[in-house]
A and B are shown apart, each in its own frame.
Chain A
Amino acid sequence: MSLTLGIFAVILAITLGITYWAAKRTRTTSDFYAAGGNLTAAQNGFALAGDWCSAAAFLGFTGLTALYGMDGAFYALGPLVAFCTVLFMIAEPLRNTGKYTLGDIILYRMKTRTSLLAAVGGTIVVNFAYLTPQMAGAGVLVRLLTGIPYDAAIVLVGIAMIVYVAFGGMLATTWVQIVKAGLMLAAAAILLLLALKAVGFNPLAFFSRAEAAYGPQFLAPGNYLKNPFDEVSLGVGYVLGLAGLPHVMTRFYTVPDAKAARRSVVWVMFLAGGFFLATTIFGLAAADLVGQDTIRAADKGGNLTLPLLAEYLGGGKGTFGGELMLGFVSAVAVATILAVVSALTLSTSGAIAHDFYVNWICRGQVHEKKQILVARLSAIGIGILAIALGILANGINVAVLVILAICIAASANFPVLILSLFWRRFNTGGVVGGILFGLVSSVMLAMLGPAVRGADAIWPLVNPTVVSLPLGFLGAVLGTLLMGRDLENEARFDEVTVRVHTGVAAE
């Protein structure tokens, strides 16, 4: 415990030093929201890996694989494949058309205040749905790993996140993510080496030993996701939802051009993809070496599998090596949460300060200095709200919120983004219809489903994406048709297309 705290204190000191350095370099709104658009592809790729490998990935995938076998490996594969969607469909168009937010793109395409408001709504709902479980997870995790009480842990995490974002903006957030990604990958590489050593460098042995211990059913699908449609829904949700997450979109505004945006996706696909693949191996290794009973005894959901495996591979309980590895992995897990909540806060600040205050209320007529001030203040406000929500969520099953966040991103934001970029007739009615249908159907079906109502579920699926995503597209098309043709908007689509594919602005 004290070793964990010590290693974490070092990580915290490094990130605060980075924030001090970044704060001095954050002068304009472009610095604040997009690090001035000056990051390299490799930096952005590492930051994306830091962003996308949340604690749910770091701890959750390993735990799921250790307890449920193949379904855990499915959970880990989706987030990699999701980057194919990002790379082929949205990374370059985002860089070419946007400035800081999803709202920017929608406003650029539609030129209407109603559509901007819809985009702000989609962003805020998704971000808070994602942020609240991260905060609650931070409370649980810090308490389990260090003994600090839940509420105090959330306040600490919240304060660190507010400091990073309010003072250091995107530059600090990015470097916190890069540091965390570096540590996470280093931890994974060491663990992978030790795990392979434990089985005589024969990866197939992970499978044969897990099967010998738990039987062939352990390696078969369906142990975790009982309903067949849930397997499909989970997959579709991940693969299209990532492209609709506002805090991931924001990362593409931090690089100078489409080429760098493209290259940063390849970086993240190899970094994060390699990591996701490793979580499957860690899960199988932990089931064999640590044992499911020990894993369940430490945490029913299996969230402490990776720390336990690290302790085992380091030399076992009570040894210095074991304590060191446990402390290292635990500290990285906490750093992971910090990196993710910071990105969410920054992206929400973009929706509230930049989209809503500056562009909607003040119609863009705000002095640069005041824009930055509002951005910083909004980050503080969002941080305080996140702390409050995290504390309120104590003891509530927040896992449903993560599913919901990705489901809404896939069902509301993704259709609207794609149609804005690629469909000439798409109009403001479509933006409103798409976001409304996607959002309402996701929330309603999740509330009626087993994640909230348990055995009393009226709706059978935990993850409603397989239905809500088509409904989101349907709402977008119906809204477009109901509003009638907006010929001026359609005529401007040529200009939009030029900008989407080349980045050349019209004037």
Chain B
Amino acid sequence: MPTPDDPKQMMASLVTRKLRFIAVLSVIYLTSYVGLTVLAGFARPFLAAKALGPVNVGFMLIAANYLLSWVLALIYVHVANETFDPLVARVAAALRLERAA
């Protein structure tokens, strides 16, 4: 009889939430970075166009990718610490309880 504290269900919901979160972050950074390499390969005049004074679009996008990587990493760590770690702790506790029983 599954209860709200059933470790199997808790585990399944944890994995679903975590994978969904990782998938969103991964789509963002892969699109941004692989997209930039595609532009570097196939849209060279666009990247060579001037954007900010002497700096062209390509270098702006490179800088944006640095920032994006750092920001996504901080978001990931924040969410992992605040949301997933407590969930993992609850699942682990429930598992130990189940095994002790």
B34-78 near A? 1/0 per residue, CB < 8 Å = 101111111011011000111110110010011001101110110
Known: A83-B69, A220-B48, A221-B44. A502 touches B76 (CB 8 A): no
Confirm or deny: A490 has a beta carbon within 8 angstroms of a beta carbon on chain B.
no
Complex Cα distance, B81 from A221, in Å, reads 39
B44, A204: Cβ atoms closer than 8 Å: no
Chain A residues numbered 475-507 whose CB sits less than 8 Å from any CB in chain B: 494, 497-498, 501-504
**Given A219-B56, A497-B15, A501-B11, A269 contacting B70 (CB threshold 8 A):** yes
Q: Which of A77, A221, A273 lies in contact with B70, CB distance below 8 A? A: A273
Query: CB-defined interface of A222-265 with B at 8 Å, one 1/0 digit per residue?
Result: 10010111111011100100000000000000000001001101
Residues of B within 8 A of A277 (CB): 66
Cβ of A147 < 8 Å from any Cβ of B? no
Of the four ranges (under 10, 10 to 19, 20 to 34, 35 or more), the interface on chain B belongs to 35 or more
Known: A204-B54, A501-B15. A232 touches B69 (CB 8 A): no
Q: Give the A-binding residues of B (Cβ under 8 A).
A: 8, 11, 14-15, 18-19, 22, 25-26, 29-30, 33-34, 36-42, 44-45, 47-48, 52-56, 58-59, 62, 65-66, 69-70, 72-74, 76-77, 80-81, 85, 88, 91-92, 95-96
Q: Considering only CB atoms and an 8 Å cut-off, how many residues of chain A contact the other chain?
A: 54
Please determine whether B15 and A219 come into contact, CB atoms closer than 8 angstroms.
no
A263 to B33, CA, bound (A): 23
With an 8 A cutoff between CB atoms, is A89 at the interface?
A: yes
Closest to A270 in B: B70
Residues of A close to B30: CB separation below 8 A: 239
A78 to B34, CA, bound (A): 10
Is the C-beta of A151 less than 8 angstroms from some C-beta in chain B? no
Is there an interface contact between A266 and B74, defined as CB atoms closer than 8 Å?
yes
CB 8 Å contact bits of A261-300 with B (1 = contact, 0 = none) = 0110110011001000100100000000000000000000
Contacts of B45 in A (CB 8 A): 220
Of B40, B45, B47, most buried by chain A (CB within 10 Å of CB) is B40
**A207 close to B73 (CB less than 8 A):** no
Q: Considering the chains assembled together, what is the distance between the CA atoms of A498 and B42 in angstroms?
A: 44
Contact A259–B81 (Cβ < 8 Å): yes
Q: Are A273 and B41 in contact (CB under 8 A)?
A: no
Q: A211: nearest residue on chain B (CB-CB)? A: B54
Q: Given the complex, which residues of B lie within 8 Å of A81, measured CB to CB?
A: 29, 33, 65, 69
Q: How distant is the Cα of A208 from the Cα of B69 in the complex, in angstroms?
A: 27
| B77, A266: Cβ atoms closer than 8 Å | yes
Q: What CA separation (Å) do A263 and B40 show in the bound complex? A: 32
A144 in contact (CB, < 8 A): no
Taking each of A81, A235, A497, which has the highest tally of chain B beta carbons within 10 Å of its own beta carbon? A81
